[in-house]
Amino acid sequence: MKVSDFLKEYNVKLLKGLGQNFLTNTHIAKKIVERADINENDVVLEIGPGAGTLTEFLVLTGAKIIAVEIDKRLKPILERFNKYDNIEIIFVDFLKFDVSVLPKGFKVVANIPYSITGMILKKILFSDFSKAVLMVQKEVGDRLLLPPGADRNFLSVVVQSYTMVRKVFDVSKGNFVPRPKVDSVVLEFEKTEDFKYDIKEFWDFVSKCFGAKRKTLQNNLKRFTRIECFSKFDLKKRPQELENEEFLELFETFKGCK
């Protein structure tokens, strides 16, 4: 049954406020799940199963699927998965969901609501995930991949420093119901093994470095630390000009600046 048929049968009208744009293309859904390289020993978190287009392929992997959905009106549509013993559907706002209950190394597969992409990424990065395959707004995804010197933001730096992030493929707006105004992109994130810092502390530090994006590092750093600690760095640069490795060196210096 098509997504539109499910919605019609159960009289569910999608809510713009929840960023509900449901994937309808099963070929794309299959490719996303295949990219996650899931086996039956994995635990997989699906954020926002919606009408279950991705879920249909996730349950077939044999892995334990934890699907977190904010909209309880979708319960009758998702009840078709009750016949599987490897899926648990939890109706709660993902931003309030306790990801610490998931085992270390869990995977994430999701079509992310555009309006809260940053908050969802933050929660994933702060968790014990190992790999995530996420569909996000194309503009947001493209920015996450920007190199130093481009018009990137602190989230790009954190993501590129903490994970191996790759573009998988673009998804045009015509593959969703309702049709969004923008295209999407599928990204793959794999946590790097050599990141030795506390990700929450690093996130906070990089965020402060970008406090005033058009100002120099010196102007941003002096707001929260002793500037003399950073004498070996060129603080006349703007934050978006730095290599990811330079941010790691800055952070190392910051931690030792007492």
| Number of residues that make up the chain | 258
Q: How far apart are CA 207 and CA 158, in angstroms?
A: 9
**42, HSE (Cβ side, Cα atoms, 13 Å):** 24
Under 8 Å CB-to-CB from 64, ≥6 apart: which residues? 42, 43, 44, 86, 87, 88
26-59 pLDDT per residue, tens: 999 999 999 999 999 999 999 999 999 999 999 9
93 a known binding residue?
yes
Options 1.10.10.350, 1.10.8.100, 3.90.1150.10, 3.30.360.10; CATH of 199-255: 1.10.8.100
% residues pLDDT > 90 (the chain): 83
pLDDT at 66 over 80: yes
Q: Is 14 one of the annotated binding-site residues?
A: no
Provide the pLDDT for residue 150: 80
φ/ψ bin of 60: left (φ > 0), alpha (ψ from -120 to 50), beta (otherwise): alpha
Angle CA 193–197–201, to nearest 5? 135
What is the per-residue pLDDT across 149-158, written as a single tens digit (0 to 9) for each? 888 999 999 9
Q: Which CATH number fits domain 3-191: 3.40.50.1240, 3.40.50.150, 3.40.50.2300, 3.30.1540.20?
A: 3.40.50.150
The Cα-based distances of 68 to 95, 231, 241 in angstroms read: 10, 47, 38
The reply, when asked if residue 21 is annotated as ligand binding, is yes
Q: What is the pLDDT of residue 109?
A: 99
Is 62 annotated as a binding-site member?
A: no
69 carries a ligand binding annotation:
yes
Q: Where are the domains of the chain?
A: 3-191, 199-255
At 199, the pLDDT band (50, 70, 90 cuts) reads: very high
| pLDDT given for residue 101 in this prediction | 97
pLDDT of residue 192: 92
> Is residue 62 scored above 70 in pLDDT?
yes
What's the CA gap between 180 and 137, in Å, rounded? 10
- Label residue 92 by pLDDT band (50, 70, 90): very high
Residue 25, pLDDT score: 96
**Mode of pairing for the β-strands spanning 131-137 and 64-69:** unpaired
Q: Residue 24 in 3-state DSSP? A: coil
User: Is there a binding annotation on residue 48?
Assistant: yes
CA 155 – CA 256 distance, rounded (Å): 24
